[in-house]
Structure 1
Amino acid sequence: MDVRPDDLPDGLVIANGAGRVVCFNTAAVRLTGRQHHEALGSPLQAALPLEDLDGRRWWQLTDPYGGPAIRNGHPERNLLLPGGHEVLVAARYVRQRPRGPVERVVVTLRGTEARRRTERSHAELIATVAHELRSPLTSVKGFTATLLAKWERFTDDQKRLMLETVDADANRVTRLIAELLDISRIDSGRLEVRRQRLDIAAAVRRHVEGHIAAGQPAERFAPRIADGLPDLWADPDKIDQVLANLLENAVRHGEGTVTIEVEPAASPREPGEKATAVTVSDEGPGIPEESMSRVFTRFWRGSRRGGTGLGLYIVKGIVEAHGGVITVDRAPAGGARFRFILPVGAPAVLA
């Protein structure tokens, strides 16, 4: 199948051995603002009047046709077009033989918006982590220093309270580190799924019982488990993360009864294949319509602050790593309704 230069998402500029532009694709037109007829046939330095960040003219600085014959181009770097418009530029010098004359200069151009979004996301992640770590670590340091310096002055009950606080804060730090590792694996596509036979109904009941044991009234939960569920092969620890996050959100941010439905469904990606659907809904204020599209992005916290805002991003990554899908909408009672569908999968040795 032939790929035309105009099909490429990045800008492509090719100059011949005489330094004249012979290819200037549509993406290059969009990025530079220069039309095809203006660029084609013109000298490379005129079609792409690039400068480095110090204001030096790039093609005079690098001299691809007259410089050392051992060079084969330059890696991607930030350069400036007239008006200060920043682009990412990489070049390849094509020679017919080693140390021979340059036959073509192939230049690729990309906008910097995607990279800047990534950099901002990383900066936000670092700031969030630093903020979330500061409080528990300060608490741990304060209590341990106090206990070491004044152990004999405290009663056993006071010591127990301090140590319980240290233990809770240490658990908080451990959870945050686990979240960061999950995000790293999701972003790099390396999140491992170790499939085992999973009793999803038992897992749901276990999470509900945990909330009741922690002080929530039993009547607040309404598990509805359908009959005839297909055998589900999934990673128990990962699905526990999903259930824990969705139920915690429903309990903390929702109101009224939290309904958990488990039922057979059609596979979201393989027509005709079996799957299991889990729906968690509440009767609270719900999620504003304008926020629905951002629920599964990093740092989304809704109208209430607290937490890292990473939980639902990780939930989506886990569900998709299983080949499933997750959606959010408004529940019949007005609250938020999260629904994820998992294909039945196969044992790890067969997957």
Structure 2
Amino acid sequence: MEAAAHLGGLHPDDLPDGLVVADAGGQVVCFNAAAVRITGTPTDKALGRPLHAVLPLEDLDGRRWWQLTDPYAGLAVRTGQPERNLLLPGGREVLVSARYVRARRGGPVDRVVVSLRGTEARRRNERSHAELIATVAHELRSPLTSVKGFTATLLAKWERFTDDQKRLMLETVDADANRVTRLIAELLDISRIDSGRLEVRRQPVDMAAAVRRHVEAHTAAGQPAARFVTRIAEPLPTLWADPDKMDQVLGNLLENAVRHGEGAVTIEVAPAQTRYQSEGTAVTVSDEGPGIPEESMSRVFTRFWRGSRRGGTGLGLYIVKGIVEAHGGTISVDRSPVGGARFRFILPVGAPAFMA
């Protein structure tokens, strides 16, 4: 590594990706620690050797990559190679890109700079996408089968059913259609969260009123009013947030507590300090159920995590975390004092920039 110069205090070993540099004669003059980890070749076995020998790369068809690309004797207008998937000896996959450095345009190559990256992260991403597709297909199949079955039956045998029977079938179709609509909304939210395009339309939000509204919705749906305990620490600071997305967060956390927890569901709203010691609002939702196992705490906000087998896509808490973080807030989970799950999120209360 002696020939590798420090660049503005940055050493090649500080880089997260593999870095291999060959001089004008094709001899390796830099082989950083990440390159050693990715290739399994020690630095002393790489420095001073020909680039094609240190990195005997092949494409997926078994062709030798350096013979195909020919960086030193190829066209003088080329500036490098875009990233592509190649194979190291033994069949290990690696993502490789190259840059051809010339002192003057069209001149000879002075250096070839190669970047190496492992494929583990990409494979994890591909697995995640495959899991998402499988989950969506499974969740869509059931309601769509129901919708198709009931509509086909009604169309074929409309006169044979009583009004009450027709109403029951149409109500089932309506409920299944709502289920599909919710799933599509979740998928759109995930797409926006993953791409950093989740829009937050801030307005003044009365969090206490929003909590009471969600509790009333649960009691109207048949839950006993005594099951909910609401504690509001007045006065609360004025909170600027997206009201629709706050409803989504509260609805998801309360639904989880009602469905997966037991006993009383306690919702607390109080002033709090954010992680940057600024003014904020904290909302805590806890239950008296079995709680979340310690080994699962770190996975609660990941895709497809389910607290039980009682339905759901496992996407709700992932979306909740994305919404809270899009507001500049934080969310955490632990055990409540009575043993159940306790979710707590804190949002900064600052007004939008045009109000500052």
Establish whether TM, by shorter chain, passes 0.5: yes
Q: Secondary structure at the match of 2:77?
A: coil
Partner of 1:265: 272
CA distance in 2, matches of 1:2, 1:130: 51
- Does 2:325 match 1:320? yes
- CA deviation vs aligned residue, 1:161-196 (integer Å, no higher than 9, x gap): 111111111111111011001001111111111110
Partner of 2:313: 308
Q: Pick the aligned partner of 1:40 from 39, 42, 47.
A: 47
- CA deviation vs aligned residue, 1:122-175 (integer Å, no higher than 9, x gap): 000011011111111111111112222222221111111111111111111111
Q: Pick the aligned partner of 2:38 from 26, 31, 35.
A: 31
Partner of 1:288: 293
Within-5 A mapping of 1:59-208? 59-208=66-215
- Does 2:342 match 1:337? yes
Deviation at 1:305, TM superposition (A): 4.6
Q: Secondary structure at the match of 1:87?
A: strand
RMSD of Structure 2 on Structure 1 (CA):
1.3
The residue identity in structure 1 corresponding to 2:335 is: R
- Does 2:256 match 1:249? yes
Q: TM-score, length-normalised on structure 1?
A: 0.96
Q: Secondary structure at the match of 1:284?
A: coil
Structure 2 contact 257–285 (Cα < 8 Å) conserved: yes
- Does 2:246 match 1:239? yes
Deviation at 1:229, TM superposition (A): 0.8
Q: Secondary structure at the match of 1:301?
A: coil
CA distance in 1, matches of 2:166, 2:69: 68
Q: Secondary structure at the match of 2:332?
A: strand
CA distance in 1, matches of 2:310, 2:103: 61
Partner of 1:58: 65
Partner of 2:18: 11
Deviation at 1:226, TM superposition (A): 0.8
CA distance in 1, matches of 2:352, 2:70: 58
Structure 1 contact 319–342 (Cα < 8 Å) conserved: yes
Deviation at 1:117, TM superposition (A): 0.3
Structure 2 contact 260–310 (Cα < 8 Å) conserved: no
- Does 2:219 match 1:212? yes
Identity of aligned residues (%): 83
Structure 1 residue ranges without an equivalent (≥5): none
The residue identity in structure 1 corresponding to 2:286 is: S
Change (3 A) 1:63 1:338: same
- CA deviation vs aligned residue, 1:205-239 (integer Å, no higher than 9, x gap): 00000000000000000001111211111100001
Q: Which moved more, 1:98-107 or 1:281-290?
A: 98-107
Q: Secondary structure at the match of 1:68?
A: coil
CA distance in 1, matches of 2:140, 2:239: 37
Q: Secondary structure at the match of 2:347?
A: strand
CA distance in 2, matches of 1:98, 1:156: 82
Partner of 1:299: 304
CA distance in 2, matches of 1:305, 1:103: 63
Deviation at 1:46, TM superposition (A): 1.1
Deviation at 1:105, TM superposition (A): 1.0
Q: Which runs of 4+ in 1 moved over 6 A?
A: none
CA distance in 1, matches of 2:310, 2:253: 17
- Does 2:280 match 1:275? yes
Deviation at 1:54, TM superposition (A): 2.1
Q: Which moved more, 1:249-258 or 1:28-37?
A: 28-37
The residue identity in structure 1 corresponding to 2:55 is: L
State how many pairs are aligned.
349
Structure 2 contact 13–34 (Cα < 8 Å) conserved: yes
- Does 2:273 match 1:228? no
Structure 2 contact 324–331 (Cα < 8 Å) conserved: yes
Deviation at 1:304, TM superposition (A): 2.3
Structure 1 contact 194–348 (Cα < 8 Å) conserved: no
Deviation at 1:14, TM superposition (A): 0.9
